[in-house]
Amino acid sequence: QVQIVESGGGSVQPGGSLRLSCTSTQISFRFSNMAWYRQAPGNERELVAAISRDRLTDYVDSVKGRFTISRDNDRNTVDLQMNDLKPEDTAVYYCNRKDFPFSTWGQGTQVTVSR
């Protein structure tokens, strides 16, 4: 069973920053297009940022200019740098493949933005 582990979440005030990271000890991300997703209470899970094997990136409009996705194939990690956080960014954040996500999702990491 594939296990992806996300970390780095926390509680911050609006305007703050967090850096999320995900990794797996069982699979290599090297050959996959990867993505960060988030799910807020009562909402569907949405794709927030994606990075291809060639490090091409794409973002949902609401985070463009604030979030940066990156990958380190040697460390087998995919990171999400989040700056200028807003209350509407509050959600559980997950990492998975962009295309054909693994059916088993990680536990995610909670991000809470409030005063």
- Walk along the chain (115 residues) and give the pLDDT tens digit of each residue: 779 999 999 999 999 999 999 999 998 999 999 999 999 999 999 999 999 999 999 999 999 999 999 999 999 999 999 999 999 999 999 999 999 898 889 999 999 999 9
The encoded tokens of residue 103 equal: 């059916």
Measured distance CA(63)–CA(84) in Å, rounded: 9
